[in-house]
């Protein structure tokens, strides 16, 4: 197991290096950074000086190495647009995105597992069939459309919930949270549903398929033959076996929630990193874009690692450190 984990960590580092290379290449090849940083009235001397300052005259590998060194320390340079350190801007924006992702992740996970189990064990019921049909629509509608429909119904027509922004936030010094005020919580509802709905239907369908599969297994039949109660068969014997494959996909989905947040944040003008990224793209703010890319990939890789460890926690067959008896 230890060897496996070491291998996984090693793989993760490689992935991050590759992403880092892409981010670095953006600096090098998308526009000329010197061009970007110096104004119209520049002299050849200015350019030379800046090139040297930025290390652009050195060879590629050295530059890449320096970029990585800086990145690891969280230093991505100054935003072209705001003239402030990118890291500061990201840290400022991150709480909004993480809170949104957390809430919609929970909605997706809890709703998806509950509905998945329900539709699997009541697979012939009317309610289950309605939910399955509904979920098809949920999967096929684009996120922004769902967001707009929700805004139309709950903000414009009913006027119950705000249509944009984060509401009132509380500043805890190192973190700004919308969880502590009523307006903050109200503002969270629509974006969280919008962002979580797609993942929820995915998880639901996955749980349902897996659960139906597991319910056909011999050990479920054997449990039935021993007179084990339905409830225990569903929630003790079947659910646990269902969760093993569900965890991987769900873990990856949580990563993509953060990535998908770009769209939701744009629709709801949610002041998170996704909106920051979209604005950065509009202004070709390369440092911000590169930093965002790196941050998202670190999250993905980190989530992947955690998912792998959860595997071990759930499935005893993978814990090979115990002695198998024969």
Partner 1 sequence: MTKTPVLSVRDLIVEIPTRRGVLRPVDRVSYDIHSGQILGVVGESGAGKSMTGNAVIGLLDRPARITSGEILLSGEPIHQLQGEPLRRLRGKRMGMIFQDPLTSLNPLLTVGEQLTETIQEHLGLSNADARNRAIAALEEVGIPAARQRIDSYPHEFSGGMRQRVVIALALCAEPELIIADEPTTALDVSVQAQIIALLKRLCRERGVAVMLVTHDMGVIAEAADRVAVMYAGRLAELGAVRDVVMSPSHPYTAGLMASTPLASIGQKRLRQIPGSMPRLGALPDGCAFHPRCERATDQCKTGGSPTIASGGGRAACIHPLPAAKSEVTQ
Nearest distance from C-beta of residue 200 to partner 1, angstroms: 25
Pairing of strands 176-177, 170-171: antiparallel
Return the number of the residue (83 or 325) whose C-beta is nearest partner 1.
325
- The nearer residue to partner 1, 130 or 217, going by C-beta atoms, is 217
The region of 46-54, 101-109, 163-171, 219-227 touching partner 1 under the rule CB under 8 A is 219-227
CB of 115 to partner 1, least distance (A): 23
3-state secondary structure the chain: CHHHHHHHHHHHHHHHHHHHHHHHHHHHHCCCHHHHHCCCCCCHHHHHHHHHHHCCCCCHHHHHHHHHHHHHCCCCCECCCCCCEHHHHHHHHHHHHHHHHHHHHHHHHHHHHHHHHHHHHCCCCHHHHHHHHHHHHHHHCCHHHHHHHHHHHHHHHCCCCCCCCCCCCEECCCCEECCCCHHHHHHHHHHHHHHHHHHHHHHHHHHHHHHHHHHCCHHHHHHHHCCCCHHHHHHHHHHHHHHHHHHHHHHHHHHHHHHHHHHHHHHCCCCCHHHHHHHHHHCCCHHHHHHHHHHHHHHHHHHHHHHHHHHHHHCHHHCCCCCCCC
Size of the site for partner 1 (CB under 8 A): 28
Task: Report the residue number, 159 or 316, with the smaller CB distance to partner 1.
Answer: 316
Interaction between residue 229 and partner 1 (CB under 8 A)? yes
Q: Which is nearer to partner 1, 34 or 223 (CB)?
A: 223
- Would you count residue 281 as binding partner 1 (CB under 8 A)? no
Least Cβ distance, residue 224 to partner 1 (angstroms)? 6
Minimum distance, C-beta of residue 324 to partner 1, in the bound complex (Å)? 5
Using rule CB under 8 A, residue 49 touches partner 1: no
Please report how close the Cβ of residue 146 comes to partner 1 at its closest, in angstroms. 36
Segment contacting partner 1 (CB under 8 A): 34-42, 102-110, 239-247, 259-267?
239-247
Q: Does 231 bind partner 1 (CB under 8 A)?
A: no
Provide the minimum distance between the beta carbon of 239 and partner 1 in the complex, in angstroms, as a whole number. 10
In the list 152, 175, 222, 235, the residue contacting partner 1 (rule: CB under 8 A) is: 222
Which residues are at the interface with partner 1 (CB under 8 A)?
217-219, 221-230, 232, 236-237, 240-241, 244, 314-317, 322-326
């Amino acid at each position: 197991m230890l060897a496996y984990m070491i291998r996984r960590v090693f793989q993760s580092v490689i992935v991050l290096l590759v992403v880092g290379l892409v981010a670095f290449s953006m600096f090098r090849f998308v526009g000329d950074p010197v061009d970007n940083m110096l104004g119209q009235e520049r002299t050849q001397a200015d350019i030379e000086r800046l090139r040297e300052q930025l290390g652009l005259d050195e060879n590629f590998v050295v530059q890449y190495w320096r970029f990585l060194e800086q990145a690891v320390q969280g230093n991505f340079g100054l935003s072209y647009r705001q003239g402030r350190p990118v890291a500061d801007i990201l840290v400022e924006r991150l709480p909004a995105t993480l809170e949104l992702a957390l809430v919609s992740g929970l909605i997706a996970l809890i709703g998806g597992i509950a509905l998945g189990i329900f539709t699997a064990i009541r697979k012939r019921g009317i309610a289950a069939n309605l939910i399955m049909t509904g979920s098809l629509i949920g999967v096929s509608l684009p996120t922004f459309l769902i967001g707009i429909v929700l805004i139309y119904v709950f903000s414009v027509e009913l006027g119950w919930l705000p249509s944009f922004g984060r509401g009132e936030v509380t500043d805890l010094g190192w973190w700004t949270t919308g969880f502590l005020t009523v307006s903050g919580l109200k503002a969270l509802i629509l974006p969280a549903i919008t962002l979580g709905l797609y993942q929820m239907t995915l998880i639901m369908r996955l749980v349902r398929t897996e659960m139906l599969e597991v319910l056909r297994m011999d050990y479920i039949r054997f449990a039935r033959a021993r007179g084990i109660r339905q409830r225990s068969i569903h929630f003790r014997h079947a659910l646990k076996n269902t969760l093993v494959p569900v965890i991987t996909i769900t873990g990856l989905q949580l990563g993509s929630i953060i990535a998908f947040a770009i769209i939701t944040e744009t629709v709801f003008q949610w002041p998170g990193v996704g909106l920051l990224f979209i604005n950065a793209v509009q202004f070709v703010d390369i440092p911000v874009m590169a930093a965002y890319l790196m941050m998202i990939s670190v999250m993905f890789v980190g989530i992947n690692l955690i998912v792998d460890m959860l595997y071990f926690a759930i499935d005893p067959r993978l814990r090979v450190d115990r002695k198998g008896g024969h």
